[in-house]
Amino acid sequence: MDSALAARIDPGHRCRLEWFEEHQGQVSPFPAPLAGGLLLAAKAKGIYKPRELEYAVSIRINLGSPYADGVPVPTTGGGWLLSYHQEGTDPADRDRQYTNRGLMRCKDERIPVGVLRELAPARHRTQYDVLGLAVPVKWSDGYFFLESLDPLAIPVTDIVSDVLEATARAEQDESAAATVPADDYDARLRTYRQIVARRGQPSFRAALIDAYRGRCAVTGCDVPEALEAAHLRPYRGPESNTVPNGLLLRSDVHTLFDLRLLALDPTTRQIVVSKRLARTQYESMSGHRVADPAADWQRPSQDAIERHWRDFLESES
């Protein structure tokens, strides 16, 4: 915790926030009181605001909550974003609850809160991920939106489509997607959501990363953040997410592949570059043989390659 923040809050409040800093990334039972009986969370409410403070101290993401809380969405810098439902279902009644008022005070003065995430019980004992500290940066339609104060790596492969939808609460149709973000937070959240969506379904991408040993099948690029799961045959539901229907590609190669500007010759398994890419840096990829996956059963489907090839030839004519 930086000295400027520490100077703005009283010692008891500072001790509580320091606990979340010190235990960030750990799994803990429901936290016990600190010295002097200082509570870190309340079992009765997801938002904990001590009587003696003007601010909320912590929030809990609870399993089986009646509210549609999100889960942490990883950002490319190693931090995370989170949406968290206010106490009470009616946004118009937000300030009737002292817990909401405390969290709004944190938002207005940029005071962080500790974040706990309930895990599935182990041996009948509830455990929590201590995610660390996050700052409430906005409130909208009954939701608080928070950004992590310090980075905590959360693998992108843990994120699934329904989680993204619940967390981002973002536009789902084309007209809404074209809306200009309301602020920097919305803009960042949209960017991260698009990156995750573009990389492909997490389990599909993870399987391709394993099959191709973490390298782009065309360029050999081994930077995980740049690698995406490409479909040979277009996505038609979960059954499309099989390794033989995919290639692990660098993001720009993936785009060209989807646009039928690159294709895989079904006979030679070599890259063929569109005439539209003549005299560009991509022309040199022509003739490169696509890397083989680790196991024979993971090799790209001949039928899928031939379908993509036919589409490519049509686009060239």
For the cut 80, the answer to whether the pLDDT of residue 69 exceeds it is no
Q: What's the N-to-C CA distance of the chain in angstroms?
A: 62
Q: Which residue has the higher pLDDT, 58 or 159?
A: 58
Secondary structure of the chain in the HEC alphabet?
CCHHHHHHCCHHHHHHHHHHHHCCCCEECCCCCCHHHCCCCCCCCCEECCCCCCCCCEEEECCCCCCCCCCCEECCCCCEEEEEECCCCCHHHHHHCHHHHHHHHHHHHCCCEEEEEECCCECCECCEEEEEEEEEEEEECCEEEEEECCCCCCCHHHCCHHHHHHHHCCCCCHHHHCCCCCCHHHHHHHHHHHHHHHHCCHHHHHHHHHHCCCCCCCCCCCCHHHEEEEECCCCCCHHHCCHHHEEEEEHHHHHHHHCCCEEECCCCCEEEECHHHCCCHHHHHCCCECCCCCCHHHCCCHHHHHHHHHHHHHHHC
Nearest to 114 by CA among 98, 136, 97, 95: 136
According to the model, what pLDDT value does residue 40 have?
97
Region 202-231: what's the mean pLDDT? 89
Asked whether the whole model's pTM tops 0.75, one would answer no
For the cut 80, the answer to whether the pLDDT of residue 85 exceeds it is yes
According to the model, what pLDDT value does residue 124 have?
61
According to the model, what pLDDT value does residue 151 have?
56
For the cut 70, the answer to whether the pLDDT of residue 158 exceeds it is no
Q: Are the CB atoms for 74 and 168 separated by under 8 Å?
A: no
For the cut 80, the answer to whether the pLDDT of residue 234 exceeds it is no
According to the model, what pLDDT value does residue 3 have?
79
Domain 3-155, what architecture?
Roll (2.30)
According to the model, what pLDDT value does residue 160 have?
34
pLDDT-wise least confident of 85-89, 94-98, 168-172, 301-305: 168-172
- Boundaries of every domain in the chain: 3-155, 202-316
For the chain, percent of residues with pLDDT exceeding 90: 47
Average pLDDT of the chain, as a whole number: 81
For the cut 80, the answer to whether the pLDDT of residue 153 exceeds it is no
Q: 190: which 2 tokens?
A: 């949209």
Nearest to 269 by CA among 242, 306, 296: 306
pLDDT-wise least confident of 25-29, 130-134, 199-203, 284-288: 199-203
Which pLDDT band holds residue 186 (cuts at 50, 70, 90)?
Answer: low
According to the model, what pLDDT value does residue 182 have?
62
Tell me which range, 30-44, 179-193, 195-209, is most confidently predicted by mean pLDDT: 30-44
Instruction: Please write the tens of the pLDDT for every residue from 6-17.
Output: 888 999 999 999
Q: Which residue has the higher pLDDT, 221 or 77?
A: 221
According to the model, what pLDDT value does residue 177 have?
46
Q: 111: which 2 tokens?
A: 């005071």
Which pLDDT band holds residue 46 (cuts at 50, 70, 90)?
Answer: very high
Q: 86: which 2 tokens?
A: 């206010």
Which pLDDT band holds residue 263 (cuts at 50, 70, 90)?
Answer: very high
For the cut 50, the answer to whether the pLDDT of residue 169 exceeds it is no
For the cut 90, the answer to whether the pLDDT of residue 25 exceeds it is no
